A and B are shown apart, each in its own frame.
Chain A
C-alpha cells in the first residue's frame, strides 16, 4: 500500500458543485500539504498543516478549504468549483518539514 494515498484519482465535476479530495498517510508524519500542479506554473501550495490544530494558508488558498480530521488525514474542499480549478492536485507529508512524500495525485476537471 502507498504511504500517501489520495482519493479519488480522477474526478470530473460541474461548475458550482462542492467537491472534496481526500488524503491519508501511514508514515506518521506531523505535517501535511496540498499543492496544485499546472503546466508552466509548477507546484503551488494551497494549504498546509503542522498538526491537527494548526492549519495555514499557502500561496493560493482562495476558493479552497481544508480539514485535518486526524494526524493521518487531510482533506481539501472546493466549495463551489470553477473551471480554472481544473488541475492536478497533490497531497504531501513531511516529518517536521524535512523530505516531502507525495501521493499519486488527483486529476480534477471542472466543466
Chain B
C-alpha cells in the first residue's frame, strides 16, 4: 500500500525549461508535505516544504503547489539548470510533535536537465 504516489518516475527537461513532478496522497491526516533532493552518493536533503493551510509556496526557482481537495501536490522547478539534475522525493507526514510524525516518501523522480 503506497500512501504517497509520485509521478513521473523519470523526467528529461531542456535547460531553461520547467520541470513538474506530481504527488498524490491518501491519508487526510497528513499535514506536512516536504520535497527532498538527492544527488548521487548522497543522502536526501530537504528542498522545500508546505503545510495544507496554503496553496502555494515559492523559494527561488522552486514552487510547491498544493490542492487539498484533490489530495495532490506538485513541485515546479522554473528555469531548470543542469545542476538540478538529481532524484526528487515528495513526502508526507502526520502532525508534527505528535506520536505519529513519521515521514512517508513517494517513489522518487529522476530528473535530467540537458544543457
Label chain B's interface by main secondary structure: loop
A42 CA to B6 CA, complexed, in Å: 9
Tally of A-B residue pairs with Cβ under 8 A? 67
In the complex the two chains form, is A97's CB within 8 Å of B43's CB? Answer: no
In the complex the two chains form, is B9's CB within 8 Å of A40's CB? Answer: yes
A99 CA to B46 CA, complexed, in Å: 7
**Closest residue of B by beta carbon distance from A4:** B43
Closest chain B CB from A108 CB (angstroms): 15
**How many residues on chain B are close to A (CB under 8 Å)?**
27
In the complex the two chains form, is B34's CB within 8 Å of A48's CB? Answer: no
Q: Which of A42, A58, A99 has the most CB of B within 10 A?
A: A42
Query: In the complex, which of the residues B6, B44, B93, B96 contacts A102, with contact meaning CB atoms closer than 8 Å?
Result: B44
> Within 8 Å of chain A (Cβ to Cβ): is B102?
yes
**Closest residue of B by beta carbon distance from A35:** B105
- How many chain A residues sit at the interface, stated as a range, is 20 to 34
In the complex the two chains form, is A31's CB within 8 Å of B43's CB? Answer: no
**Contact residues of B between 34 and 90, Cβ < 8 Å to A:** 34, 36, 41-46, 49, 89
Closest chain A CB from B70 CB (angstroms): 21
Chain B hits for A98, CB < 8 A: 96
> Within 8 Å of chain B (Cβ to Cβ): is A111?
no
B binding-site residues for A, Cβ under 8 Å: 6, 9, 32, 34, 36, 41-46, 49, 89, 93, 95-99, 101-108
